[in-house]
Amino acid sequence: MESRAAFVLLGVLYLAVTFVTVQAVTYSGAAVVHEGQAWSIECSGLKEDDPIRWTRNGQSLEPELSSGQLSVLSPRGSGTSKLSAVQATDSHDGSYKCTPQSNDDFHLTIYVGENSDLSDPSMSPDLKIKVLTPKDVPLILECENRVPLEKPVWLKEKVAVLTAFPQNEDLVKIDNATGNLIITKVLDPAYGNYTCKIGNTTTEYRVVQKPTVVLDDSTNVVEGEKLHLVCNGKQSPGIKVLWYFGEQNYTSSRGRVKISKDIDRGIHGGVLVVENIEMSDRGDIFCKVAYNWSDPSEEHSASAKTYLRVKDKYAALWPFLGICAEVVVLCVIILVYEKKRNKAELEESDTDNSPETKPLPNKDSDIRQRK
């Protein structure tokens, strides 16, 4: 009994030590990075015997490390390892781990949009997206870092905002007390890019309409082939896309599920590709979009679903085999019929060619006549 208790105690201590070791690994770094920016993720709390092997979504980064796209710095004895890239690309989006011993991971989101190119110093990387619907009116855009007694300058598509709406002069107004821009109506001219300038600081906004999603009611894919879906609809660059497939949510590639950019519309994550579709994949697939996942309002998000129908890869073969079977049966029937008919004709022919039996003349009657 005592030995069993000691064994259980040792097991508990082992699990506790393992748990502490796993929980000791922590990550730090920018969670959201614009395309083209440099980024780095630092993993700390590593022990000397912990294997350092960076992965993204469970996949090895060796090809990108060997090509120089990514680099790893792990000073000996520091207990840290840093993964970095000079320029962020949409393929860098995903969940990172520095060691298999880590129970946690670090999710890096790459923002891909019109203002993701930071080569233009007039474009701020901190673009704020606001959805304009009837429930949002009046929509207030605040000019950040305002200096007292200094008047802000508001621009709409790089044009003075008060002169940008010649036919809708009352569409927007500027609050002189706060310097905020107020959009008073829901009209198409109100959508677009706004900039507030105060001295050397700028605040960037993009006002967009409620997003929409369009998917077919059903999608047919043959077993073993590839599923390709595009989350269509009215959406602006910078929107976040979530796919629901196989009872799991996907915002980035994982396993045979590949999430990629809709190049035609510039929507990151707008394309879902699943290799080697299986019969068990049959079911509903959802696409949900929002500019901010922390905003639960239905007015600012949209979703749609399609039902995936998986066809048997031999389904097209069965009608052909059925036709072949019918042809074989017909051929057999014809052969049997022809064989019986030929046999009957042969028997009739043999009967027709047999010699006729004629009655023999009566010799006695001939003799009597001669007499």
CA-CA distance, 39 to 235, in Å (whole number)? 27
Q: Which domains does the chain have, with CATH numbers?
A: 16-111 (2.60.40.10), 128-208 (2.60.40.10), 218-311 (2.60.40.10)
User: Which pLDDT value is given to residue 178?
Assistant: 87
Q: In the chain, what percentage of residues exceed pLDDT 70?
A: 83
- For the segment 203-246, what is each residue's pLDDT rounded down to a tens digit? 999 999 999 999 999 999 999 999 999 999 999 888 889 999 99
- For the segment 138-156, what is each residue's pLDDT rounded down to a tens digit? 999 998 877 777 888 999 9
**Own/partner pairs, 18-27, CB within 8 angstroms, 24+ separation:** 21/47, 21/50, 21/101, 22/101, 22/102, 22/103, 23/103, 23/104, 25/50, 25/98, 25/99, 25/101, 25/102, 25/103, 25/104, 26/104, 27/96, 27/98, 27/104, 27/105, 27/106
In one-letter notation, the amino acid at residue 165 is: F
For the chain, counts of helices (H) and of strands (E): 4, 25
User: Which pLDDT value is given to residue 352?
Assistant: 61
What lies within 8 Å, CB to CB, of 165 at 6+ separation is 156, 171, 172, 189
Strand partners, 194: 156, 205
Q: Cβ distance 99 to 43 under 8 Å?
A: yes
CA-CA distance, 256 to 274, in Å (whole number)? 6
User: Which pLDDT value is given to residue 10?
Assistant: 46
User: Which pLDDT value is given to residue 106?
Assistant: 85
Greatest C-alpha distance within the chain: 172
Residues of the chain with pLDDT under 70: 1-23, 111-125, 316, 350-371
pTM, rounded to two decimals:
0.58
Please tell me the chain's helix, strand, coil percentages from 3-state DSSP, rounded to the nearest 5.
25, 35, 40
Which helix (H) or strand (E) element contains residue 305?
strand 301-311
User: Which pLDDT value is given to residue 276?
Assistant: 92
